Amino acid sequence: MNERVKRLREQSVSIEPYVSLERAVLLTEFYQREDTER
């Protein structure tokens, strides 16, 4: 692995996961729409 990939991998492993409130609201509204094809 080159240095850039090592750094990116370390960042992705060490970052604490979180849920975006805005994303959660948008997804909820999208799936609640009656005209949404699934």
Tell me which residue has tokens 């005209």. Answer: 35
Q: Which three-class secondary structure string do you get for the chain?
A: CCHHHHHHHHHHHHCCCCCCHHHHHHHHHHHHCCCCCC
Which pLDDT value is given to residue 34? 80
Which pLDDT value is given to residue 13? 92
Which pLDDT value is given to residue 36? 65
Which pLDDT value is given to residue 18? 87
Which pLDDT value is given to residue 35? 79
Which pLDDT value is given to residue 30? 93
Q: Tell me: the pLDDT tens digits for 1-38?
A: 799 999 999 999 999 988 899 999 999 999 999 876 66
pTM for the model:
0.46
CB 8 within 8 A of CB 14: no
